[in-house]
Structure 1
Amino acid sequence: MKKVRVKKKRNLRTMITGIVTVAVAVVCAFLYVSRPTELDKLSQSYLDTVDVEKLQQKVETSFESSNQLKDYVVYGETLSLYKDRYGSVKTDKMQGNNIVLRNVMNDSITSFTFNGKVDSGIDLGSLKEGVYELYTYNHYEKERIYFDKAFKAKTITTMRRNKKVKDITFIADKDALKNQEIQLTKNYAFIIVTKHIPKSNVYDVVIDPCGNAMNYSSNSVDIGASTEILDEPTTSLVLAKKVKKELEKQGLKVKILRNENETPGYYGADGRPARAYKAKAKLYLALGASQDENVYAPYMLTSPYTNSGLANTISYVMNKKGLTLYAARTNTTQNMGVLNDSFVEDGDGKVEKYEFYPQLRETGGRATYTGLYGSEMKNEGYKNSYGMYGLYFAYASATNSESVTYYKDNENALAKALVSGIIAYFEV
């Protein structure tokens, strides 16, 4: 009898163990199936996943020293901060200041120096996931940055890196962390970085094959720099396809802004800048030909509102690869073959704030005064947009046979070096 009872106890124990095992397996399977997928994370912020209790302990809600700012500009992947309204004064008081970011979750510090140019602020592409407090220095005294008016900026999406992008939330609001039960005393600025897979409708680079552009003033098509030795519309499109292929090898999503038989101009809802803004690109790369008979090799035009950092990097890469650039530059801070775009002059010869090339002026958003020049005003809808980093690569002169020959002999090498410079600058 005892043996029978022991056997029944063992059977009961085995049965309970089995039930528990099955229950644990079911729970584990449920948790696995219901876990957040990469698609789920597209609608999540880093704040949705953070340890709230730790965040409450780490975030300071008031400061003895603070510094009020009034404006900001986004250009490419750069966020620049201003003491006054952008463009209202020649030299902003933030120029020369360090901007310090503290990731409140791990206390890591990142510092950037703002020198007044729109590509010299906070490098958003370099930031890791986290919640960042923003500081600056005033005579060696560390001050917390806040804004006079509360805001939450439109999300900024960085370039693809290792098949991932980062969504940047820039916010200055007393109630920024209200959902986490943190109440601030001023509109202190935060940058919240969230990493996830990219959305299919967001591009990294747009390429403008210059030529065949509709001129809305004359209602005619501007073919471009076309001669017997070089046809700009055709050559630009061929080069654009080569550059696109090389960029895509690096994991970037690229859009060419016109097809062979299209003639979009630089204004209006279907213009090239409009197509680029809709693609939410970070880099606007124009590929065109010069008509200057003195130009014997390629060169680059960059916005005078920048430090020419991207163009300088490309110039350096091309020099290292033994390629020749036109021996000219606007100033000593630029590498060879790098020139600033010119400013437009009014009827009295007074220099205005608007750049000459629409490929640079109409694509930089607020940073380059998009939609404000001329009587057409057809890009007004983008005057407050985030700017793309604009670069005009003049690959040859259509009036100089030496230049055309050099380009044709080095077309593939130039395309690859151009891409290598872009990849190096953005650290993709």
Structure 2
Amino acid sequence: MKKIKIMNRKKLSTKIIGIVTIAVAVVCVFLYASRPTEIDKLSESYLDHVDVEKLQKKVEKSFEGNYLIKDYLVYGETLSLYKSEYGSVETDKMQGNNIVLRNVMNDAITSFTFNGSIDSGIDLGSLKEGIYELYTYNHFEKERIYFKDAFKAKTITTMRRDEKVNDVTFVADKNALKNQDIKFKKNYAFIIVTKHIPKSNVYDVVIDPCGNAMNYVSNTVDYGASTSILDEPSSSLEFAKRVKKELKKKGLKVKVLRKEGETPGYYGADGRPARGYKVKAKLYLALGASYDENVNAPYMLTSPYTDSGLANTVSYFMSQNGISLYAARTNTTQENGVLNDSFLLDDNENAQKYEFYPQLRETGGRATYAGLYGGDLTNSSYKDSYGMYGLYFVYASAMNSQSVDYFNENADTIAKILVKSIVRYFEI
């Protein structure tokens, strides 16, 4: 009779443990391989992972006071709210008001003061991930902000910070949290912030090397401020490359809007503003030269619809680092070398709402009335777009050799301090 070999208990136990260990390892490898990646999360919102039970307990559903808002706009990373339709009144009733944000999940309070400028509202780049309720004060009474009509705005993507961006959803809808079994009586406003890795086709900054701009009316090229001592198209492009290099060191994604030999203008589907809108840039930085023989150092032009915050920051850091600026400013709230763009005049010499320079007017979206001026050749596709924060940095005068020499001697330093100022202003 054939003998049957019986495995002892110790060997059997060891074998079972080995099989179980291998099975657990296989399951772990499968779970690790099938876990959501950062790319998978690009399509997800903070609401997709929220603790619903906690949200239901924490979110406010009724309020003693309610405050009706009629309009909003986005400029750079700033969200501004308006009691009336934007541009319909000279002084909106929201001017001077505090806008209070409450992060529903942790009760953290963030407050912003709206001074009427398009860059003075809610700083979206500073918000942490979460769900925010919006309030304001009306005669010292805290009231919940709501809109008459429901809406969900297009996603707002902030600048890169530590290789991450905020995707911001601005929504006012009584059914905004319907999927979490929460309903409201009015279209209360919420800001939902989701932190993501950035998408490759979304840029932070676009740089416009001024000069070589096609004039579509005359079908000729405006070469810009070009003389025997400075050629604006080539010097602007070279300076743009320096600035781009410094911005990239700070982790920002940058696009220069004109290649050597290219002549894109400021209107149309392939114009410089259009190229900036298409990549959803937050900052439009124009670098150009002047024809004013009195200009002996760099200066900046900024939109009169802003409070010149970015330009003032640049001026401060230029001064701190020994860089001279042209001794001029439009008003006492501005630092040295900071000027407002001028408004165009109508046939009766009255100022219109349109700015002179397309580098500022056509790049700010609805905030600067882009796409409404210029006859047949307008950027009408972008008249309701989120605006890029526009800054026109004039680095030299082609009519002043002292100015050109100063720029040539200090171009690298100016580029570095300009970028340092941008990074500090946007808190990158």
The verdict on a shared fold, with TM-score over 0.5 as the criterion, is yes
Aligned residue in 1 for 2:171:
171
Q: Which amino acid aligns with 1:83?
A: K
Map 1:378-417 onto structure 2 (within 5 A): 378-417=378-417
2:190 is matched with 190
Aligned to 1:3: none
For 1:47-81, what per-residue CA distance to the aligned partner results, in whole angstroms no more than 9, with x for missing partners? Answer: 11111111111112221211010110100000000
Any unmatched runs of 5+ in structure 1? 1-5
Hey, what does 1:85 align to over in structure 2? 85
Secondary structure, in 3 states, of the residue corresponding to 2:187? coil
Q: TM-score, normalised by structure 2?
A: 0.97
Is 2:368 the counterpart of 1:368?
yes
* One-letter identity of the residue aligned with 1:340: N
Q: 2:59 matched to 1:59? A: yes
Task: For residue 15 of structure 1, report the CA deviation from its aligned partner.
Answer: 4.6
CA displacement, residues 202-229 of structure 1 (integer Å, 9 cap, x when unaligned):
0000000000101112111001011111
Q: What secondary structure is seen at the aligned counterpart in 1 of 2:39?
A: helix
C-alpha RMSD over aligned residues: 1.3
Give the structure-1-normalised TM-score: 0.97
1:218 alignment partner AA: S
Describe how 1:25-64 pairs up with structure 2 within 5 A: 25-64=25-64
**1:274 corresponds to which residue?**
274
Contact 1:62-1:186 at 8 Å conserved across structures: no
- Cα distance between partner residues in 2 of 1:104 and 1:56: 10
**Amino acid across the alignment from 1:357:** Y
What is the deviation of 1:24? 3.0
| Alpha-carbon contact 1:82-1:93 (below 8 Å) kept | yes
CA distance in 2, matches of 1:100, 1:231: 49
The Cα shift of 1:10 comes to 4.6
Q: Distance in 1 between matches of 2:11 and 2:49?
A: 45
- In 2, the alpha carbon distance for the partners of 1:15 and 1:175 equals 57
Higher mean Cα deviation, 19-28 or 47-56?
A: 19-28
| DSSP-derived class of the 1:53 partner | helix
Partner SS for 1:42 = helix
Question: Which amino acid counterpart does residue 204 of structure 1 have in structure 2?
Answer: D
Runs of 4+ in 1 over 6 A off after TM superposition: none
By how many angstroms is 1:12 displaced? 5.0
- In 2: Cα distance, 1:182 partner to 1:150 partner: 16
Residue equivalent to 2:293:
293
- Preserved CA contact (<8 Å) 1:371 1:381: yes
Q: Distance in 2 between matches of 1:220 and 1:160?
A: 38
**AA matched with 1:400:** N
Structure 1 counterpart of 2:123, which letter? Answer: D
- Residue in structure 1 matched with residue 335 of structure 2 by the alignment: 335
Shift of 1:13: 4.5
The answer as to whether partners of 1:52 and 1:180 remain within 8 angstroms in 2 is yes
Deviation at 1:139, TM superposition (A): 1.5
The equivalent residue for 1:350 is 350
Q: Tell me whether 48-57 or 274-283 shows the greater mean CA deviation.
A: 48-57
2:121 maps to amino acid: G
Consecutive unaligned residues in structure 2, runs of 5 or more: 1-5
- Aligned equivalents of 2:61, 2:31: Cα separation in 1: 36
Report the alpha carbon displacement of residue 377 of structure 1 after superposing the two structures with TM: 4.2
User: Residue type matched to 1:136 in 2?
Assistant: T
Alignment of structure 1 residues 140-219 onto 2, 5 Å: 140-219=140-219
- Tell me which residue corresponds to 2:223: 223
Correspondence for 2:302: 302
- Between 1:243-252 and 1:6-15, the stretch displaced more is 6-15
SS in 1 for 2:43: coil
In structure 1, distance between residues paired with 2:17 and 2:105: 42
- Distance in structure 1 (CA, Å) of the matches to 2:374 and 2:411: 36
**What secondary structure does 1:188 align onto?**
strand
| Residue-by-residue CA offset, 1:251-289 (whole Å, 9 max, x unaligned) | 101000011111110001111001110011000000000
Report the Cα distance in structure 1 between the residues aligned to 2:399 and 2:279, rounded to whole angstroms. 34
Distance across 1 between alignment mates of 2:378 and 2:341: 21
Verify: 1:419 aligned to 2:397, yes or no.
no
The offset of 1:375, in angstroms, is: 1.2
Q: Distance in 2 between matches of 1:20 and 1:409?
A: 72
Partners in 2 of 1:47 and 1:302 — Cα distance? 38
Letter paired with 2:425: Y
